[in-house]
Amino acid sequence: MGRRDAAYRLRLAQGFLNEAHQDLDLGRWRSVMDNAQLAVENAAKAVLALLGPVGRTHNPAVQLRRALGDGLFAAPEDDRVQRLTELAELLGPDVHIQTDYGDEAGGLTPWELFDEEDARQALDIAGEAVELAVAVVGRLTQ
């Protein structure tokens, strides 16, 4: 079950990453952010799936930190999972909410919040997260 769920999450992560690249080419910064966030989220969930069922959350970094603290990942995977956790925090639930609702208090729509620099940075983060997840899942399912 864990291996199948991890593979499913990796396919989701790669699909969202691919869409983020397409959105960048189209200059759709908000959409890049949204898809990059979902790529990172699913990359993190792919690794979590190796440990058991993954709950519905937009903040898998919390569960990854707990797993790291419990020593569930051995070297060298613990370093990769630590970095994946950091990336999942960078593009966490706050970004997910901003891409859908904007900044309600500030009166800014999602399209007003993000620019090309934000989008490129998010895409780099997402690419690294997916690479890390592929490496961890590949190594732990050999």
Residue with tokens 């970095």: 83
3-state helix, strand, coil in the chain (%, to 5): 75, 0, 25
User: Are the CB atoms for 130 and 43 separated by under 8 Å?
Assistant: yes
Class of domain 2-140: mainly alpha
pLDDT of 142: 84
pLDDT of 39: 99
CA dist., res. 37 & res. 31, Å (int): 10
List, run by run, the mean pLDDT of 10-residue segments along the chain (142 residues).
Answer: 92 99 99 99 98 92 96 93 98 97 97 98 99 96 88
CA distance readout (Å), 140 to 6, 118, 126? 11, 33, 21
Q: Where are the domains of the chain?
A: 2-140
